[in-house]
């Protein structure tokens, strides 16, 4: 996630709306290939680069059997591990935030994966190991060998679908989300119009890649807090900042 924007997927959608084609996984690869080490890149191996590029999953399945699957077993491990982590941590966060109740979680997910955070992580990890180990000797580039058993995959997908319906999609419709989207877009627009204000580590690509690409690089590199501070510096009158 080196290329992820401020405000996560909300920021990614916002930036893609004004800079079409932006994807955080592709931006992550750009960071390690084109931006790091004064533009020389990190000279990473192809399996590492593959894992960075293809870790994101479509909504269809947590197991990632869709088009664009990783070409190496190592990268497939990264992809499925990302899925295991986020469905469990996001569920816990949603319950703590009061967005969902524990008793609303799909029964198939609880019965197959477990009723606690630790039980679910343990079940998913063990299942991947037990299911994938016999397949490794038959690996060919592009073949999915790191995978869940079918019952566990169905349970994990049920949990993921529940999170999309009850957590991710409702969050996308909030006023806070709309504000974050507009903030990211306004920062992009500002730096595309004022490329001389972009730090040198990004500005060195201006001649080859143009102002919009460089503005996207800079905005995508920001943390939430830094994006807010840049926005305030650019758009909030200093008088009001002092009063606040």
CB 206 within 8 A of CB 214: yes
Average pLDDT of the segment spanning 33-51: 92
Q: Is the pLDDT of residue 62 over 80?
A: no
* Matching residue, tokens 């997910």: 109
Q: What is the dihedral of CA 93, 94, 97, 99, to 10 degrees?
A: 180
Reported as a single tens digit per residue, the pLDDT across 139-172 is: 776 688 999 999 999 999 999 999 999 999 998 8
Reported as a single tens digit per residue, the pLDDT across 115-137 is: 999 999 999 999 999 999 999 88
CB 220 within 8 A of CB 3: yes
Using alpha carbons, list the distances in angstroms from residue 165 to 55, 66, 191, 210, 216.
22, 21, 35, 39, 30
Domains and their CATH numbers in the chain: 45-173 (1.10.3210.10), 176-243 (no CATH)
Using alpha carbons, list the distances in angstroms from residue 48 to 121, 154, 159, 171, 232.
24, 28, 29, 32, 37
Instruction: Give me the pLDDT at residue 67, please.
Output: 43
Q: Report residue 55 as tokens.
A: 């870790």
Instruction: Give me the pLDDT at residue 172, please.
Output: 87
Instruction: Give me the pLDDT at residue 134, please.
Output: 92
Higher pLDDT among residues 130 and 243, named by residue: 130
Q: Is the pTM of this model over 0.75?
A: yes
- The three-state DSSP-derived secondary structure of the chain is CCCCCCCHHHHHHHHHHHCCCCCHHHHHHHHHHHHCCCCCCCCCCHHHHHHHHCCCCCCCCCCCCCCCCCCCHHHHHHHHHHHHHHHHHHHHHHHHCCCCCHHHCCHHHHHHHCCCHHHHHHHHHHHHHHHHHHHHHHCCCCCCCCCCCHHHHHHHHHHHHHHHHHHHHHHHCCHHHHHHHHHHHHHHHHHHHCHHHCCHHHHCCHHHHCHHHHHHHHHHCCCHHHHHHHHHHHHCCHHHHHHC
CB 83 within 8 A of CB 62: yes
């Amino acid at each position: 996630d080196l290329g992820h924007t401020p405000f996560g997927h909300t920021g990614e959608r916002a930036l893609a709306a004004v800079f079409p084609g932006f994807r955080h996984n592709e931006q992550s690869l750009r960071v390690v290939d084109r931006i790091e080490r004064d533009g020389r890149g990190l000279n990473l191996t192809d399996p590492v680069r593959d894992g960075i590029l293809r870790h994101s999953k479509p909504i269809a399945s947590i197991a990632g059997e869709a088009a664009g699957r990783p070409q190496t077993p190592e990268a497939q491990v990264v992809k499925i591990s990302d899925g295991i982590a986020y469905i469990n941590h996001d569920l816990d966060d949603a319950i703590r935030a009061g967005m969902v109740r524990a008793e609303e979680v799909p029964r198939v997910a609880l019965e197959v994966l477990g009723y606690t955070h630790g039980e679910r992580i343990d079940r998913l990890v063990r299942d991947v190991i037990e299911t994938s180990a016999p397949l490794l000797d038959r690996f060919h580039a592009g073949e999915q060998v790191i995978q869940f058993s079918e019952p566990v995959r169905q349970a994990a997908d049920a949990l993921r679908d529940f999170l999309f319906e009850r957590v991710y999609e409702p969050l996308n419709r909030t006023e806070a989300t709309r504000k974050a989207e507009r903030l990211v877009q306004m920062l992009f627009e500002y730096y595309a119009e004022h490329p001389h204000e972009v730090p040198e580590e990004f500005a060195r690509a201006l001649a080859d890649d143009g102002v919009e690409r460089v503005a996207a690089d800079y905005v995508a590199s920001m943390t939430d807090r830094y994006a807010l501070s840049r926005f305030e510096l650019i758009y909030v009158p200093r008088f009001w900042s002092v009063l606040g």
